[in-house]
Amino acid sequence: MTNKNLSESILQKRINRFKSIKRGYYSLIILISLYVLSICAPIIFNSKAIMVKYNDEYYFPLFNSIFSNKNIEAKDLGQFEIKGKKKYGQPHYRLLKKQYQKEDKGNWVIMPLYPYDPYEEVISEKDEQFTDVNGNGVWDPSENFIDENGNGIADKYKYTNFPNSQHLLGTDNQGRDVLSRLIYGFNISITFAIVCCFLSYIIGIIIGGTLGYFGGKVDLFGLRIIEIYGSIPFLFMLMILATFIKPNVYILASMYVFLTGWIGITWYVRGEFLREKSKDYVSAAVSMGQSHWNVMFRHILPNSLTPVITFAPFAIIGYISALVSLDYLGFGLQPPTPSWGELMAQGRTNLQYWHLIVSPLFSIGATLFLITFIGEAIREAFDPKVHSRLR
């Protein structure tokens, strides 16, 4: 063992111990890379082209839509008609690509890796439902529309499709791509959980710290209030509020934390402060004339972080589950926000479409599974319990 290892801090030791628990460590790596991927999702999973070259001019529709609201009109790119109808507004890039390839005038379109986005309208999907015999991306009168009855007329468009080569996980009941909805939904779920976690830790540390540090009557009284507050069925309250506030992910997270999310962590912090308070270093700090604030947050807090940190992954599991159940009941984020719970609800009403059930279920299960592993590993690393027994 080298000197460097001897002098490593307790935090470093814990991190090393965490890394040595492979299950948790790899889960963390997978989860972080998935989250990074989902942050980059707009440039990987999108129906807008990354780059278009048309008549010696270069267009960047995807970045335009992200960084500025400047829209590119279909006619600017030479897409004048689709299915024999004049095309207005935004171009249909997937068809445009075919069109350029057919025309072969040196124009080209670079599509993102997966050219479907989670919000894409049913109409634009519908535009592709014809047999593109000559492969020019433009409907000619001789070409047939793809339909259920095979009579050559687009009489019935099917919204929900099983997984196929274009939509790897099929489409949902409005013809939107399930895979990209899952990825965007993952981003939203994790963001929700992180925001919740952050906010509830702030509230929990302040309230729990105050209760634990001052103890006595403050503690007794505060605990009563928290007990009452904690018994209120706030998921119901949240649903009532959600019907008229129509929250986005950050507002929903704040609402959730304010109504119910802060209670669990408050209990933890309070217990920890109560225990730490009686230790000698606290008395020393108090006798030196430190202010309450300093004692609480500069001395006790760093020493009571262990259970707080080990609690975090399990809190995150709770937050994600809460978001999914809210969305499942239809009281969470506003449509058309991509969400796992909403897909689940679609699956409940269309039981024959297994992909609408299995894919969100797998996403939820896998994500929570990973977080559980991380949580177990963090607990093991920060608070190791040696279980030895005779025989």
Partner 1 sequence: MFQYIIRRLLLMIPTFLGITFMVFFILQVAPDGPFERAVAQLKSANATSESGVSMSSDLIGNSSELSPDILEDLRMQYGLDKPIIIRYLIWLGVFPKEYKRETAVIGKHFRETVDFVQINENSKKQLQKYILVESEVDKNNNISYNIIESGAGLKYSLPDVSRLQTDENFDFDKYIFFQNEYQELPSHELISTWYFSNWDLEKVNSDNTVTLVKKEFNGIFQGFLGYSEKKGKNVSTLIAERMHISIFFGFTSLILVYLICIPLGILKALKHGKRFDVLSSIIVFTGYSIPGYALGVLLLSYFGGDIFPLHGWRSPDFSELSLWGKIKDQIHHAFLPIVCYMVGSFATMTVLMKNSLMENLNQDYVRTAFAKGLSEKRVIFFHAVRNSLIPLATGIGSSIGIFLAGSYLIEKTFGIDGIGLLGFNALIDKDYSIMMGALAIQVVILLIGNLISDITYAIIDPRIRFK
- Alpha helices in the chain, H assignment, sequence order: 3-6, 10-20, 22-39, 41-44, 61-67, 93-103, 122-126, 178-214, 216-231, 234-245, 249-256, 262-277, 280-287, 292-294, 301-303, 305-329, 340-349, 354-382
Tell which residue, 100, 104, 164, has the closest CA to residue 129.
Answer: 164
Residue 58 or 244 having the CB closest to partner 1: 244
Euclidean distance between CA atoms 2 and 296, whole angstroms:
37
Q: Which residue has the tokens 């335009």?
A: 64
| Gap between the Cα atoms of 348 and 362, Å rounded | 15
Q: What is the dihedral of CA 288, 294, 300, 301, to 10 degrees?
A: -160
Interface with partner 1, residue 166, by CB under 8 A: no
Among 136, 144, 303, 372, binds partner 1 (CB under 8 A): 372
Our CB check for partner 1 shows the closer of 22 and 348 to be 348
Which residues on adjacent β-strands are paired with residue 57? 54
Long-range pairs, 278-282, Cβ under 8 A, ≥24: 279/303
Q: Is 384 in the site for partner 1 (CB under 8 A)?
A: no
One DSSP character per residue, 130-195 reads B--TT-SSS--TTSPBP-SS-SSS-----------SSSTT-B-TTS-BHHHHHHHHHHHHHHHHHH
Min dist CB 188 to partner 1, Å, is 17
- Total binding residues for partner 1 by CB under 8 A? 46
Task: Choose one: 53-61, 248-256, 289-297, 348-356; the region binding partner 1 (CB under 8 A).
Answer: 348-356
Out of 199, 344, 374, 377, the only residue in the binding site for partner 1 (CB under 8 A) is 344
Choice between 1 and 351, CB closer to partner 1: 351
Q: Which is nearer to partner 1, 43 or 366 (CB)?
A: 366
By CB under 8 A, residue 338 contacts partner 1 = no
CB of 204 to partner 1, least distance (A): 20
- Nearer Cβ to partner 1 (60/314): 314
Does 328 help bind partner 1 (rule: CB under 8 A)?
yes
Closest distance of CB 352 from partner 1, Å:
8
Residue closer to partner 1 by CB (options 300, 324) is 324
Among 202, 291, 354, 383, binds partner 1 (CB under 8 A): 354
- Region of 147 on the Ramachandran plot (φ > 0 left; ψ -120 to 50 alpha; else beta): beta
Q: Which residues in the 207-246 window bind partner 1 by CB under 8 A?
A: 224-225, 227-229, 231-233, 236-237, 239-241, 243-244
The residues that touch partner 1, with contacts defined as CB under 8 A, are: 224-225, 227-229, 231-233, 236-237, 239-241, 243-244, 317, 321, 324-325, 328-329, 344, 347-348, 351-352, 354, 357-358, 360-361, 364-369, 372-373, 385-391
